[in-house]
């Protein structure tokens, strides 16, 4: 598989529960990004990893959100105490060294519904 893989594809949770999403980037890609996309809007940047280091976080990433990339390969995004406003598509992207913003490959996303 040469694409960015995200699991699960769809998650329905009750308000207040914790959820965790996983992203497996393309194997040779050292950069990994998380974005959030709400209905009718474009993706919004959440956070960026280079290898295992989290180098950038958006103001959108409140203290209920945490992202990790422990061995520089797959990444997880956890949302604690989910709220209805967290309902969105969570997109992961990766890029190889030296390509910058022009080298993104996005996954198909995890759609979160908070009821």
Which residues lie near other proteins (CB under 8 A)?
4, 31, 33, 40-45, 48, 55-56, 58, 91, 93, 100-102, 104-109, 111
- Whose Cβ is closer to other proteins: residue 18's or residue 41's? 41
Nearest CA to 44 out of 7, 88, 100 is that of 88
Widest CA span of the chain, in angstroms? 41
Residues whose CB is less than 8 angstroms from the CB of residue 61 and which lie 6 or more positions away in sequence, other chains included? 46, 47, 67
Write down the least CB distance from residue 9 to other proteins, Å: 8
- Whose Cβ is closer to other proteins: residue 18's or residue 51's? 51
Write down the least CB distance from residue 7 to other proteins, Å: 14
- Whose Cβ is closer to other proteins: residue 80's or residue 111's? 111
Measured in whole angstroms, the distance separating CA 84 from the mean position of its chain's CA atoms is 18
């Amino acid at each position: 598989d040469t694409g960015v893989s995200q699991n699960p594809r769809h998650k329905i949770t009750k308000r207040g529960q914790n959820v965790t999403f996983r992203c497996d980037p393309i194997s040779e890609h050292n950069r990994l990004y998380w974005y959030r996309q709400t209905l009718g809007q474009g993706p919004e940047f959440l956070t960026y990893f280079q290898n295992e280091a989290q180098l950038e976080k958006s103001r959108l990433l409140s203290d209920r959100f945490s992202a990790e990339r422990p061995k520089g390969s797959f990444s997880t995004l956890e949302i604690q105490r989910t709220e209805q406003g967290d309902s969105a598509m969570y997109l992961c992207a990766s890029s190889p060294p030296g390509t910058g913003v022009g080298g993104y490959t996005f996954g198909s996303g995890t759609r979160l519904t908070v009821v």
